[in-house]
Amino acid sequence: MPLAVEQQIQTVFAEQSRRVLATLIRLLGDFDLAEDALQEAFLAALRQWPEEGIPDKPRAWLVSAGRFKAIDQLRRRARYHEILQQQADALAAQAVVSMEEEQVGIEDDRLRLIFTCCHPGLAQEAQVALTLREVCGLTTEEIASAFLQKTPTVAQRIVRAKAKIRDAGIPYEVPEGEDLLSRLESVLQVIYLVFNEGYLSASADQPLRHDLGDEAIRLAELLNALLPEPQPEALGLLALMLLHHARRHTRLDAEGELVLLEEQDRSQWDREDIARADGLIRHSLSSQRFGPYTLQAAIAGIHAHAPSAQETDWQEIVGLYDLLHQHMPTPVVALNRAVAVAMRDGPEVGLKELERLMKAPALQQYHLAHAAVADMHRRLGNHQQAHRDYERALALTSQPAEQRFLRRRMAQLA
């Protein structure tokens, strides 16, 4: 196979495989059958495209090929089960549409898939795992690593979720009316978790995965477009992701190591994304129905508009964290507020606040909490204590880029 053609096919797979899978799930009504059909379709492409050329609409070709491969697979197994023959016949009857007609609804299929994966009939852990696996294409190992769980546990969770969708007849659709709004929170949560996996991936080779960030933003945009009326928190989440994504090209240095916000080259931040986010934040705040996503976006917006780290309006940020803590009174929000207080009032004041918060068991197991305490001691010149706290943080994170960053901090103290 010519190298250029092979590279083109690999590009199509990288860009289209999850979209093709979402459509095959809609057409076939079965996750496992659709996954097998996807693989068969790409194997067919590897055989045929080098000789016949890459089709004008490769996604539609793959969807059509995948469906017919699924029909063939069902018929091969039908000798053991009459129901499979009936299913194959039904799919074959539906397959008379042309490839152009088959594209109808394809753009919405991944959103339909998200609402299916986020159905309230599934446990939240299952919703997240299934969405990351089926919508984003993360491996089971990557999901387990991201959430510090055992791979067999996550694999079993995904298997059970698929079985429940099939056995309970959970519809593959975007809900309407009040049902849509009631399920919106879980969908936003899953989209943000997808974005966060791209923002700092569990992968050792790829600490930042811009493809996941792009996909989460695309899904949030599509979600906002399909909602019957603007929803402040859906707008707020999109704004928050845009603001973080605006800094994507400055978060790693030339050696691929993490760069802190205060040290990033602000001239390289994407001003178009920042401007888009500003409009979304204003819209959400003006509704008076905003929540945690919008407030986090407003905080990120202050950072985005500060000419430098030294000129950041920490007084405004502390005020926003006060409001955020009312909406979301979690230890992590309190931790972030304490760090902002330290930036406003000095590390000694911040350290006192952090030491009070560190009594919470949740923060004792949170590596960024120990890293924040270490940073206060570093700034105060308490290098031995800072070293001990960095060591605690290092022991609690398995993220390779974060581990390297903490080791560099410890080396700088030495």
Six token digits for residue 149: 């769980």
The model's confidence at residue 308, banded by pLDDT at 50, 70 and 90, is very high
pLDDT at 343: 97
pLDDT at 264: 96
For residue 350, pLDDT beyond 60: yes
The model's confidence at residue 406, banded by pLDDT at 50, 70 and 90, is very high
Task: Report yes or no: 393 and 405 within 8 Å, Cβ to Cβ.
Answer: no
For residue 407, pLDDT beyond 80: yes
Residue 17, number of CB atoms within 10 A of its CB: 17
What number of CA atoms fall less than 13 Å from residue 379's CA on the CB side?
Answer: 16
SS3 of residue 205 by DSSP: coil
The model's confidence at residue 183, banded by pLDDT at 50, 70 and 90, is confident
Instruction: Give the phi and the psi of residue 258 in degrees, each rounded to 5.
Output: -65, 140
Residue 372 CA to residue 390 CA, distance in Å, equals 9
Residue 48, number of CB atoms within 10 A of its CB: 14
The model's confidence at residue 68, banded by pLDDT at 50, 70 and 90, is confident
Percent of the chain with pLDDT over 90: 55
Six token digits for residue 402: 């974060």
Six token digits for residue 194: 């997808």
**Mean pLDDT to the nearest integer, 159-170:** 93
**Mean pLDDT to the nearest integer, 186-212:** 81
Residue 205, number of CB atoms within 10 A of its CB: 7
pLDDT at 244: 97
pLDDT per residue as tens digits for the range 10-25: 888 888 888 899 999 9
Token look-up 């299952």 returns: 126
Task: Report yes or no: 245 and 238 within 8 Å, Cβ to Cβ.
Answer: no
Any idea what the Cα angle at residue 33 is, between residues 46 and 68, rounded to 5°?
55
Beta bridge partners of 258: 252
Task: Report yes or no: 296 and 239 within 8 Å, Cβ to Cβ.
Answer: no
Token look-up 């919106």 returns: 184
Evaluated on CA atoms 300, 302, 306, 312, the torsion sign reads negative
Task: Report yes or no: 215 and 246 within 8 Å, Cβ to Cβ.
Answer: no
Query: 32-41, 178-187, 265-274, 383-392: which range is least confident on average?
Result: 178-187
Q: Would you tell me the crossing angle of helices 347-357 and 367-380 to the nearest 10 degrees?
A: 150
The model's confidence at residue 227, banded by pLDDT at 50, 70 and 90, is confident
- Given its phi and psi angles, is residue 346 left (phi above 0), alpha (psi -120 to 50 degrees) or beta? left
**Mean pLDDT to the nearest integer, 177-196:** 86
pLDDT at 106: 53
pLDDT at 90: 54
**Mean pLDDT to the nearest integer, 155-175:** 91
- pTM for this structure? 0.76
CA distances from 333 to 289, 358, 390 (A): 20, 13, 21
The model's confidence at residue 249, banded by pLDDT at 50, 70 and 90, is very high
Q: H-helix or E-strand containing 327?
A: helix 314-327
Percent of the chain with pLDDT over 70: 90
- Which range scores top for mean pLDDT: 43-52, 255-264, 387-396? 387-396
pLDDT at 27: 87
For residue 268, pLDDT beyond 50: yes
The model's confidence at residue 107, banded by pLDDT at 50, 70 and 90, is low
Residue 345 CA to residue 338 CA, distance in Å, equals 10
Task: Report yes or no: 242 and 280 within 8 Å, Cβ to Cβ.
Answer: yes
Six token digits for residue 235: 């707008």
Beta bridge partners of 252: 258
Task: Report yes or no: 302 and 316 within 8 Å, Cβ to Cβ.
Answer: yes
